[in-house]
């Protein structure tokens, strides 16, 4: 049985041995993702949503947009907040309760990539500077955990944002007026996250499944946007040399366009 923190020594050794011959326990190529499936608009009560599976890891992201106050240091911008829940139905190791350090880290990795690229043009969501703006909530629900919830969540989040429709509005003399139809959020970029893992001696793989995640010991997540820029890095467990990190960045840059392709196709963008 798969549990969160335990993988048998036999499996671990097998995974590392296979990698030394450049092959993987599930037969994938080293830089190959599991099958990616997307279902958009799954939650009709949400302003936007997307359910994304990478292999059997499944994440549902929902967007809600509400009126609120801006942060005092950026009075002319709307607010984007990302929250993640590792709900207990996703894994025997997830427990009910407030988000633990893993959930917080996940949310902040996804949040940083969206925020730093200014993926959502928050200036467009200001109604009255310093007083009233739209607040965009992205809530990530990890539903089934078979490794790599970071990349799955980052895909689900950008797709949910692309799926989001809000009432068209205009601002007249500082007052908010709604039109009858709906409009998409102002989305400017497509950041995606590529997670890589490697054993102490051996090659990098992308999209580790749960057994690989538990066996390899060294892991790093790298966010890349459609312009090929680095828009976030988080070294996870383990340690890496400088050369290994440069290698990881270069692999992430090579692999990211495939994920961005998925986002463009599923998000209905012909860019």
Partner 1 sequence: MSAEFVRVDGRLPDQLRPIKMVVGILDRADGSAYVEQGNTKVLVAVYGPRELHPKHQASPDSAMVRCRYHMAPFSTRERKTPAPSRREIELSKVIKDALSQAIFLESFPRTSIDVFIEVLEADGGTRCASINACSLALANAGIPLRDLVSAVAVGKYRGHIILDLNDEEDEAAEADMPIAIMPNLNKVTLLQVNGVLTEEEFKQAFNLAVKGCMEIDRIQRETLRSVYSSIKGEED
The contact set with partner 1 (CB under 8 A) reads 99, 101-102, 104-105, 107-108, 112, 116-117, 220, 225, 228-242, 245-246, 249-250, 253
- What distance in Å separates the CA atoms of residue 144 and residue 152, rounded to the nearest whole number? 11
Nearer to partner 1, 109 or 136 (CB): 109
Q: Least distance (Å) from partner 1 to the CB of residue 150?
A: 13
Q: How far is CA 207 from CA 78, 97, 146, in A?
A: 33, 28, 10
Q: Least distance (Å) from partner 1 to the CB of residue 239?
A: 4
Identify which of 116, 138, 129 has the alpha carbon closest to the alpha carbon of residue 69. Answer: 129
Contact 42, 49 (CB under 8 A): yes
Nearer to partner 1, 1 or 239 (CB): 239
Q: Least distance (Å) from partner 1 to the CB of residue 79?
A: 15
Q: Is the dihedral of CA 199, 205, 206, 208 positive or negative?
A: negative
Q: Least distance (Å) from partner 1 to the CB of residue 261?
A: 20
Nearer to partner 1, 83 or 127 (CB): 83
Q: Least distance (Å) from partner 1 to the CB of residue 21?
A: 25
Which residues sit opposite 59 in a β-bridge?
Answer: 52, 142
Nearer to partner 1, 177 or 229 (CB): 229
Nearer to partner 1, 107 or 159 (CB): 107
Question: Mutual orientation of helices 149-163 and 242-266 as an angle, nearest 10°?
Answer: 30
Report helix, strand or coil for 225: coil
């Amino acid at each position: 049985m798969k549990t969160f923190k335990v993988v048998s020594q036999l499996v671990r050794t097998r995974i590392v041995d296979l990698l030394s011959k450049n092959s993987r326990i599930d037969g994938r190529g080293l830089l190959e993702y599991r099958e990616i499936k997307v279902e958009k608009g799954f939650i009709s009560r949400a302003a936007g949503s997307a359910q994304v599976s990478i292999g059997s890891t499944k994440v549902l992201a929902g967007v809600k947009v509400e009126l609120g106050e801006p942060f005092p240091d950026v009075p002319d911008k709307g607010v984007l907040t990302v929250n993640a829940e590792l709900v207990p139905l996703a894994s025997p190791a997830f427990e009910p309760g407030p988000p633990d350090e893993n959930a917080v880290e996940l949310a902040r990795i996804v949040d940083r990539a969206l925020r730093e690229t200014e993926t959502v043009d928050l200036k467009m969501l200001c109604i009255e500077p310093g007083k009233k703006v739209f607040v965009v909530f992205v809530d990530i629900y990890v539903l089934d955990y078979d490794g790599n919830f970071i990349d799955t969540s980052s895909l689900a989040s950008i797709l949910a944002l692309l799926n989001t429709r809000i009432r068209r509005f205009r601002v007249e003399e500082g007052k908010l007026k709604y039109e009858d139809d709906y409009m998409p959020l102002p989305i400017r970029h497509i950041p995606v996250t590529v997670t890589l893992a490697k054993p102490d001696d051996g090659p990098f793989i992308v999209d580790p499944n749960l057994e690989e995640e538990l066996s390899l010991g060294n892991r790093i997540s790298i966010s890349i946007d459609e312009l090929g820029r680095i828009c976030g890095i988080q070294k996870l467990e383990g340690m890496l040399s400088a050369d290994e990190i440069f290698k990881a960045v270069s692999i992430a840059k090579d692999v990211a366009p495939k994920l961005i392709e998925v986002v463009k196709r599923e998000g209905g963008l012909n860019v």
